[in-house]
Structure 1
């Protein structure tokens, strides 16, 4: 386990930063579901994603029945670069647990099931170049059906930490801070289908480290305000392991607001889980595009990156042209006839 942890950590923090994020004109929310998009939201964008959930659990071994009411909150902000964002994620849960075994009193738990903060950075974007984004003017099929090249995903890496404050009944005896790492990918299978995958190594260095994966498929309807999704999540830990399925819908109110609904269940009975959630996402869009001078734009390559050599040549040429214009003006003044 220690060797795997070291390999994962090395891979996570030494990947080359190659990406170029794509700011979107409409809100890019991670809701509904638990998957995380590979793309950042863009510099100057502050986004809140909140929701409430209700869940029923029944544990066949412990002979318990539980009712849980949870509040989810995610805060995202674009930092410094288009590819970078900082994310806070929290889930505060109120659980009422009853025992069917005689002699065990009912119990109530109230605390954070999720409380973490981290940075996500886009390292690779297959659509970063203008050429990749151009439609095929000669083929409707090429623009609207699945092709193998669509499987090439955008890739981002995440590094963060979990926080356990006080005597948390869900994580007894766990350290106050534990690291978390994740790789997120996103593939645009077609104009209406998007595939997202997350692989995370969580609570690193604790007695109960956790591996997890999420695979999420989203579909947008002809009316682009509506979309649906289906999601599968797997969790592997000595404390808790499970396979969970979710499905739901989202509606775009306007370019900065979205509402969503989803429900889900698992496939085991220790415990069985059945839950429902509703949420709302809103962003404050203070994003500003960088202004590039005309000579800089002319010096860009096909993938949108400025070549330093070309840029220097353009600037030198612009200076020579400016000097040439000044010298011509002086000559024209000296050549003017003098009136006596």
Structure 2
């Protein structure tokens, strides 16, 4: 997570071409919300987790437990604003149908997709308009209405359904996904992320979902917490989920996290927990903006330096 420290760094480093790359890892974990920002050009990042879930259905009268793992591989492709990513979740679900005295095991991908994310608007792209106030701590930390203006990125990708997937029966082998991701830095320590996604577009069970996540960094920026709400609507499955968790930054390139949550309904009821880590290989190179001088060639004239030196010497003589 650690978005708050990254935003503060962005405010203090106006010489960078883009606000994509930060000195601290930019992870989408914990939670399922997606940052509007890419990882940065030539950065390779892996976000891996283990999950466990208890799921019961009051109408069908079944009990089940789910164990699995998820992975997200992210790469800053060609541009600072562009990110290529793969997301996969592979699970095994053991189900007991109490009325039928029957047990069943389902094993397959619950998420298997690849896509591109591109930043189309960044409120921090103008460093002059976002300089910190060097004379007032309160001015830098109080809420300002302009902080609600989010960075916005768009995502396009494909979901793959390989073989006879028991979680997505009758779905096409390839379907498509679109998303808008927004991110607002409400303060140096408080960040709001919201996503609107339309998934499995070309199937009979297309899915519309939204996610709203609020994260907060402590005074010790190595620790951060978050709370997240997710809504899902489709002909196959509808739900409202709430989750929260904590993340710890061990180094600028390594983070660990844990989160837990549940659903608001009983068809099915869901209680889940996950723990994981994020690690990046940083091959990013900063590109600096050259400061324009009065001379079109960018060189300093020796004559002008001498002239200034003489004036200074004359002034000193008058002072004595």
- TM-score under structure 2 normalisation? 0.86
1:182 matched to 2:179: yes
Task: Tell me the distance in 2 between the aligned counterparts of 1:291 and 1:195.
Answer: 29
The equivalent residue for 2:35 is: 37
Task: Tell me the distance in 2 between the aligned counterparts of 1:126 and 1:165.
Answer: 40
The equivalent residue for 1:231 is: 228
- TM-score under structure 1 normalisation? 0.81
SS in 2 for 1:297: coil
1:212 matched to 2:206: no
Pairwise CA RMSD: 1.7
Task: Tell me the distance in 2 between the aligned counterparts of 1:140 and 1:287.
Answer: 32
The equivalent residue for 2:252 is: 255
The equivalent residue for 1:54 is: 52
Bigger CA drift: 138-147 or 276-285? 138-147
- Summarize the Cα distance change of 1:56–1:157 in structure 2 as closer, same or farther, 3 Å threshold: same
Larger RCO: Structure 1 or Structure 2 (Cα < 8 Å, ≥ 6 residues apart)? Answer: 2
The equivalent residue for 1:132 is: 129
Q: What's the offset of the Cα at 1:61?
A: 1.0
1:96 matched to 2:94: yes
SS in 2 for 1:107: strand
Pick aligned residue for 1:108 from 105, 110, 125: 105
The equivalent residue for 1:297 is: 291
The equivalent residue for 1:314 is: 296
Q: What's the offset of the Cα at 1:194?
A: 0.2
Deviations 1:62-86 (A, max 9, x none): 1100100010000000001100000
Task: Tell me the distance in 1 between the aligned counterparts of 2:192 and 2:249.
Answer: 19
SS in 2 for 1:72: strand
Deviations 1:100-144 (A, max 9, x none): 103x42000000000000000011111112213311134322201
1:87 matched to 2:85: yes
Deviations 1:238-270 (A, max 9, x none): 100100000000000000000000000000111
For structure 2, list consecutive stretches of 5 or more residues without a partner in the other structure: 1-16, 302-320
1:160 matched to 2:157: yes
Greater share of residues in strand: 2
Q: What's the offset of the Cα at 1:180?
A: 0.3
The equivalent residue for 1:286 is: 283
